[in-house]
Structure 1
Amino acid sequence: MKKLALLRHAKSDWSDARARDFDRPLNARGVRGARAMGEYIKSTCLTFERIIASPAVRVAETIEEASKAWGHSFPVEWDRRIYLASSATLIDLLRELSGEPESVLMIGHNPGLEDLIFDLVPDDGTSPLREDVEVKFPTATFAVMELAIERWADLDERCGKLVAMKRPRDLDPALGPTLND
Structure 2
Amino acid sequence: MKTLILMRHTKSDWSTGATSDHARPLNKRGTASAAALGDWLRARGWLPDEVLCSTATRTRETLAGLRLDASVRYLDELYHADPDTMLAALHDATGDTVLMLGHNPGIAECAGLLVRAPPADDRFHSYPTGATLVARFPVDNWSAVTWGSGEVADFIVPRDLTD
Do the structures match in fold with TM over 0.5?
Answer: yes
Partners in 2 of 1:17 and 1:108 — Cα distance? Answer: 21
Per-residue deviation at 1:16? Answer: 3.7
Correspondences of 1:102-121 after superposition (within 5 Å): 102-121=96-115
Distance 1:43 1:165 in 2: 14
- Partner residue, 2:76: 80
Structure 2 residue identity aligned to 1:159: S
Alignment-derived partner of residue 144 in structure 2: 154
SS at match of 1:30: helix
**Aligned counterparts of 2:50 and 2:71: Cα–Cα separation in 1:** 8
Contact 2:50–2:70 at 8 Å: present in 1 too?
no
- Find the counterpart in structure 1 of residue 25 from structure 2: 25
Q: CA deviation at 1:132?
A: 3.8
**Number of residue equivalences:** 163
Pairing 1:145–2:139 present: no
| C-alpha displacement of 1:84 | 0.5
Give the letter for the 2:84 counterpart.
Answer: A
* Sequence identity percentage: 31
Q: TM-score, normalised by structure 1?
A: 0.82
Change (3 A) 1:73 1:54: same
* Distance in 2 between residues matched to 1:159 and 1:73, nearest whole Å: 28
**Superposition TM-score, scaled by structure 2 size:** 0.91
The within-5 A match list for 1:57-72 is 57-67=57-67, 72=68
The list of structure 1 runs, each at least 4 consecutive aligned residues, that deviate by more than 4 angstroms after superposition, is none
For residues 145 and 63 of structure 2, what CA distance do their matches in structure 1 show? 26
